[in-house]
Amino acid sequence: MNDTKLVIVVPCYNEEEVLHETTRQLTSVVERMEKDGIISKGMFLYVDDGSKDATWRLIEELSGSNKRVMGLKLAHNVGHQNALWAGLEWAAQSEFDAIVSIDADLQDDVNAIVEMGQKFNAGFEVVYGVRNERKTDTFFKKHTAQMFYKLMSTMGGDVVYNHADFRLMSRRALQALVAHPERNLFLRGMVRSLGFSQEYVYYSRNERFAGESKYPFSKMLSFAIDGITSFSIKPLRLITSSGVLFIFVALAIICYALYEYAVGHVVPGWTSLLVSLWFIGGAILTAIGVIGEYIGKIYREVKRRPRYFVEKMANIE
Ligand code: UDP
Ligand code: MG
């Protein structure tokens, strides 16, 4: 019999249509896990992200009828990542040993939580839920999502392919996560950079049980930009390298222009204009890149991230 206490954190924004079903399915999963001795206790924490519909009333109602349901109501809408953070911060100092985060809309397979629990018991501290297909997503969502992962990885953000925010973390890993004082949250990148022993659980993604996606394209785009800019300074480096490239182009053009000038094929003024155009362009880009380098340093500095987390010790009290 395992003594693992599990809490499932669920951010909810205008989810009145799905909460009953979500609760029903989560309940049946944790009941099964308790019966099979994977956990000793399973609870849910619904974080109401300033919903405008009856979500909070429903959470209160559910918490009355189902002893597993706990609720946290945020005063206004702060977005998925921040709402999840609110729940995680609470969980990091709770009695729970394992913390799962999942969306309210049942797109992620709740049954994968069983396997996550088993991996946790086997000693893994971060277990990612990874979708192995995207059959049910629209063509558009599928391709924009794929572009997002590609762009992220070329821009230097280390993210797990096809993993969103469905994952299990140990309380210790979670405490390491919430020790990050930054305000720009990109949880999947941050969790990845924590280290600790990590594992994967694969599942297939369903359609939203009810209601509409709260992530229209515009929000997805800003999420991608946030993800890149809050994780990597590669875009800044790109400016420097293109500046240097421009200067080389300028040099080639200078040679060419001088040659044309010497041969006498030119309209007066052409040589000086062309040469200065390319050279100044390159010089300006390089200068911006250099400034960018410093901004990159400031950016890393103001994050005030913790420098390390100890995973194990030997023979140390
Ligand atoms: N969500 C939230 N605050 C928001 C938007 C969304 O807490 O401002 C929650 C939402 O209730 C859901 C999860 O974040 O549980 C993911 O949202 P959604 O399913 O709409 O995104 P998609 O799966 O379409 O990317
Ligand atoms: Mg969804």
Into how many domains does the chain fold? 2
Q: How confident is the model at residue 134 (pLDDT cuts 50, 70, 90)?
A: low
**268/183 same-domain check:** no
Q: Is the pLDDT of residue 112 over 90?
A: yes
Nearest-10 crossing angle of helices 234-263, 270-303:
170
> What is the token pair recorded at 298?
């400031």
Nearest-10 crossing angle of helices 112-121, 19-35:
40
More confident residue, 269 or 315: 269
**186/251 same-domain check:** no
pLDDT digits (tens, 9 = 90+) for 189-220: 889 888 899 999 998 877 777 777 777 777 77
pLDDT digits (tens, 9 = 90+) for 152-183: 777 766 778 888 899 999 999 999 999 988 87
CA of 214 to the centre of ligand 1 (A): 5
Q: What pLDDT does residue 208 have?
A: 72
Residues 6+ apart with CB under 8 A from 286: 240, 243, 244, 246, 247
**24/149 same-domain check:** yes
Average pLDDT of the chain to the nearest whole number: 86
**Rounded to 5°, angle at Cα 158 from 162 and 143:** 35
CA of 75 to the centre of ligand 1 (A): 17
**160/284 same-domain check:** no
Cβ < 5 A residues, ion ligand 2: 103, 105, 107
* pTM, 2 dp: 0.77
Q: How confident is the model at residue 77 (pLDDT cuts 50, 70, 90)?
A: confident
More confident residue, 39 or 147: 39
**146/206 same-domain check:** yes
**210/274 same-domain check:** no
Q: What pLDDT does residue 308 have?
A: 63
Residue whose token pair is 């979708």: 131
pLDDT digits (tens, 9 = 90+) for 260-291: 888 887 787 877 888 888 888 888 888 888 88
Q: Is the pLDDT of residue 34 over 90?
A: yes
Per-residue exposure over 134-168, b if at least 16 CB sit within 10 Å of its own CB, e if not:
beebeeeeeeebeebbeebeebebebbebbbbbbb
Residue 133 lies in a domain: yes
Residues 6+ apart with CB under 8 A from 149: 159, 161, 162
**144/61 same-domain check:** yes
Q: What pLDDT does residue 227 have?
A: 77
**200/109 same-domain check:** yes
Question: Please, what is the end-to-end C-alpha distance for the chain in angstroms?
Answer: 29
More confident residue, 1 or 242: 242
Q: Is the pLDDT of residue 7 over 90?
A: yes
Q: What pLDDT does residue 121 have?
A: 94
Inter-residue contact 237 to 216 (CB < 8 Å): no
What element of type H or E holds 166? none
Helices (H), the chain: 19-35, 55-65, 80-92, 112-121, 139-154, 171-178, 187-192, 217-229, 234-263, 270-303
Q: What pLDDT does residue 311 have?
A: 61
Q: How far apart are CA 289 and CA 247, in angstroms?
A: 13
Verify whether ligand 1 is closer than 6 Å to residue 15 (CB atom). yes
Residue 117 lies in a domain: yes
DSSP annotation of 3 reads -
**178/143 same-domain check:** yes
Verify whether ligand 1 is closer than 6 Å to residue 11 (CB atom). yes
pLDDT digits (tens, 9 = 90+) for 237-251: 888 888 889 888 888
* Residue range(s) defining the domain that contains residue 142: 5-214+306-314
CATH number at residue 87: 3.90.550.10
Residue 219 lies in a domain: no
DSSP SS3 for 45:
strand
DSSP SS3 for 15:
coil
Verify whether ligand 1 is closer than 6 Å to residue 42 (CB atom). no
User: Percentage of the chain surpassing pLDDT 70?
Assistant: 95
CA atoms lying within 13 Å on the CB side of residue 65? 9
